Amino acid sequence: MFRKYLCAYQERAIRGSGKTDLKRLKNRRIHIRALGLKRGTLETAVIAAALAASLLTGCSKPAEETTAAAEKQESKADAGQEKKESPEKLEELTVGASPAPHAEILEAAREVLASKGYDLKIVEYTDYVLPNNALDSGDLDANYFQHQPYLDSFNAQNGTELSGVAVIHYEPLGIYAGKSASLDAIPEKGTVLVPNDLTNEARALLLLEAQGLITLKEDAGLEATKNDIVENPKNLDIVEIEAAQLPRSLQDGDVAVINGNYAIEAGLKVSDALATEDAESLAAQTYGNVIAVRAGEEESPKTKALIEALTSDEVKSFMESTYEGAVVPVF
């Protein structure tokens, strides 16, 4: 109440003369008497001191208003800081892949890519042709589904210029039981299903040879075809089928040689295979799955980020714990 009185007095003084000084107010004892106080008393001293303080400092705003203003200013500062520190929009990185295991492995790399500034978009394909066509046309930034021999063959046949930039993993090709429960149980003139593309057919024939079912020409190697079979003791019928269709056709043959990714998609386990490629075999050393990009983009920021993400410790641990030998990291 007393403070209110002082503020009112000061405002009247300022409006009246435009100038108030300590001396003038000190001499106005009438104001002190109006409060019913006597000179020399403690109350007089308190009032005089308050008058002087009010003139020196002015009538400040209530503490609540001051606190609110400070909090408002602090809030604005915090908002500005948050805006400043908010992450920039991620750049889209589009990669084509087979559903399993490639798309699954890419998904495991998503957070690593985000930390590098990229928002991963995965486009799934169920064949071996469309993802390379899409990459060549510019619809993809990269693809991840094939090995280098297949990529080289595709480029030669289609006039494309796609480049393999990093080997990520190896998928052992396996022989899986169809009508026959074991390799020894395959009958005379039994049916063996193999992939129909050049590189994977050669790989399948090399695996059949390693199991003693056929013998190939000595120099056939990674370009072997059915025409290179020189010995076929059981007169096996080697039937070529599109790789993605092999798991569905498994019961149409005695056995089938199936690519690792298609075996995984079909729920087949490498531990169930009648035979698989040895890790030290020529095929295993040659057919690691690669990241492919357009020629000229091997050193682009996107390509480098993708390679770093897919060869990270996080992705390696994912492959080892998820696929139990069906997918083997090679980095």
Instruction: Give pTM, 2 decimals.
Output: 0.60
pLDDT computed for residue 155 by the predictor: 98
Asked if residue 132 lies in contact with residue 292, where contact means CB atoms within 8 angstroms, the answer is yes
pLDDT computed for residue 81 by the predictor: 55
Task: Supply 177's token pair.
Answer: 């039981």
> CATH homologous superfamily of domain 91-170+295-329?
Periplasmic binding protein-like II (3.40.190.10)
**Length of the chain measured in residues:** 331
From-to residues of CATH 3.40.190.10 in the chain: 91-170+295-329, 174-285
Contacts within 8 Å (CB) and 24+ apart, 124-129: 124/96, 124/97, 124/98, 124/99, 125/96, 125/97, 125/98, 126/98, 126/99, 126/244, 127/242, 127/244, 128/154, 128/197, 128/243, 128/244, 129/154
Identify the three-state secondary structure at position 320. helix
164 sits in which H/E element: strand 162-170
Asked if residue 113 lies in contact with residue 309, where contact means CB atoms within 8 angstroms, the answer is yes
- 79 phi, psi to nearest 5 deg: -65, -40
pLDDT along the chain (331 residues), means of 10: 44 44 44 42 42 42 50 55 61 97 97 98 96 98 94 96 96 95 98 93 95 96 94 98 96 95 89 88 84 98 98 97 89 88
CATH code of domain 174-285:
3.40.190.10
